Amino acid sequence: MNKVPASSGRSRLIVVFLLTVVVLAACGLWNWGTAWTVPADSGTPIRYKFLGYWDGAGSPSGKLLRPIGIAVAPNGDVYVTDARIRVVRLASSGEFKGEWGREEKGHGEFGNPVGITVASDGSVFVSDYDQDRIRKFTSDGRFLLSFGASGKDPGRFTAPAGLAVDSSGSLYVADFYNHRVQKFRSDGSFENIFGHPGRMGAGALHYPTGVAVTPDGKLLVADAYNYQIQWFDAEGNPIRRVGDHLFWLWPLRTSSKRGFKVPTGVATGTNGLIHVADSGNHRIVMLSAKGEYVADRSIPDSDPNVFSPEQVAVSRDGETVYATDLSANRILILAVERQPTHQ
């Protein structure tokens, strides 16, 4: 009887083990790439209606220049951050109402204001991408509070981007280079971290740029370079994600009802509809509260070399949508239009 050398048996075991690992990894990756909740056509007769553009005319400092952050106040005013290193306040009609900020390091000053959000009491939070801090102002720009510093520890930032406030006044910050979202109390004290750096699995974030809070208190994250929108519960547990791609090399084309290409902004109102700034596809995408595809609208005359729109905001009732079109120095305004159904 032939004897099998021990080393040969060990080699076979190693080969079998490696093959098993490869097969399991392939199955896992296959499943990961297809098992997400994918936006599907809900058949809802809702679409975007184009209302027009704003360019910030009337501002003494000049029209909007590369606007990026946008937020809607409870009274309907619209706040915008732009490359003139300022916050611009516009009425719901688009009329210029005021502005503040300049390039410096003082309390009411900025390095690069990017994210902006407005709390229910009208106070305005602004993220400073360059100075790694958050500033809080009254509705007319009076400085109230500053917090944060550069770094990776809790409460610190590396390029804070999109902001959102929940009904209790807590602030959520998309911490771009730290691949996470941080939650703060209204006084600026650190509360929690949502998500973790990664490319795979629930809760993994890769360069998040936008956040929004749903009417029922869930957090939406525009997980830009994982090409998806993720939902978290109030405790920070990941609960859902939408967007379909393969290994981030597969952004779907503009007509896609299944995925995004670098979704940088997200917003939602009391009607539950979710609006996504699908910047790499140069469009706004409307989703149902569950993440199903409802409609989309391409940005006219968009610059193919610059991803845009960057951020999106919505009126409290969810019926008017505002988006920053950085490459064209303008704000895009859309309405949610319900088409009559034919019996």
Partner 1 sequence: MTFKPVHINRPFGRWIGLVLAATALASLAAPPAARSGPASGASRQAVVAVNGMSCPFCAYGVKKHLSALPGVKSVQVEMAKGEAIVEFAPETEVTDEQIQRAVRAAGFTPGKIEWK
Q: Is 320 helix (H, G, I), strand (E, B) or coil?
A: strand
For partner 1, the binding residue among 253, 301, 341, 343 (CB under 8 A) is: 253
Instruction: Identify residues 26-55 at the interface with partner 1 (CB under 8 A).
Output: 26, 29-30, 33
Across 55-88, b (16+ Cβ under 10 Å) vs e yields ebeebeeebbbbbbbbbbbeeebbbbbbebbbbb
HSE toward the beta carbon, residue 45, CA cutoff 13 A: 6
- For residue 306, list its beta bridge partners: none
CA distances to 69, 76, 80, 87, 128 from 102, rounded to whole Å, are 16, 25, 14, 9, 12
- Distance of closest approach, residue 262 Cβ to partner 1, in angstroms: 6
Say which residue the tokens 């979710």 belong to.
Answer: 274
For partner 1, the binding residue among 127, 178, 228, 308 (CB under 8 A) is: 308
Compute, in degrees rounded to 10, the torsion defined by CA atoms 187, 191, 197, 200: -120
- 88: tokens are 């611009």
112 binds partner 1 (CB under 8 A): yes
For partner 1, the binding residue among 10, 12, 250, 270 (CB under 8 A) is: 250
Name which of 123 and 256 has its Cβ closer to partner 1: 256
Distance, CA of 318 to CA of 116 (rounded, Å): 18
Say which amino acid occupies 233. Answer: D
Task: Identify the sign of the CA torsion 229, 251, 129, 286.
Answer: negative
Contact of 323 with 265, CB cutoff 8 Å: yes
Instruction: Identify residues 156-215 at the interface with partner 1 (CB under 8 A).
Output: 159, 161, 176-177, 207, 209
14 binds partner 1 (CB under 8 A): no
- Distance of closest approach, residue 278 Cβ to partner 1, in angstroms: 12
Stretch that binds partner 1, among 41-49, 84-92, 180-188, 249-257 (CB under 8 A): 249-257
224 binds partner 1 (CB under 8 A): yes
Q: Which of 174, 161, 163, 121 is nearest to 144 (CA)?
A: 121
110 binds partner 1 (CB under 8 A): no
Distance, CA of 28 to CA of 239 (rounded, Å): 19
130 binds partner 1 (CB under 8 A): yes
For partner 1, the binding residue among 187, 303, 317, 339 (CB under 8 A) is: 303
Helix (H) or strand (E) holding 130: none
Name which of 209 and 214 has its Cβ closer to partner 1: 209
For partner 1, the binding residue among 40, 65, 306, 335 (CB under 8 A) is: 306
For residue 188, the 8-state DSSP code is S
Stretch that binds partner 1, among 71-79, 118-126, 244-252, 332-340 (CB under 8 A): 244-252
**Total of chain residues touching partner 1, rule CB under 8 A:** 38
Contact of 102 with 60, CB cutoff 8 Å: no
Distance, CA of 182 to CA of 21 (rounded, Å): 36
- Distance of closest approach, residue 301 Cβ to partner 1, in angstroms: 14
Contact of 137 with 126, CB cutoff 8 Å: yes
Stretch that binds partner 1, among 8-16, 43-51, 137-145, 261-269 (CB under 8 A): 261-269
246 binds partner 1 (CB under 8 A): yes
For partner 1, the binding residue among 56, 280, 291, 318 (CB under 8 A) is: 280
Residues that bind partner 1 (CB under 8 A): 26, 29-30, 33, 66, 68, 112, 114, 129-130, 159, 161, 176-177, 207, 209, 224-225, 246-253, 261-262, 264, 279-280, 303, 305-308, 310, 326
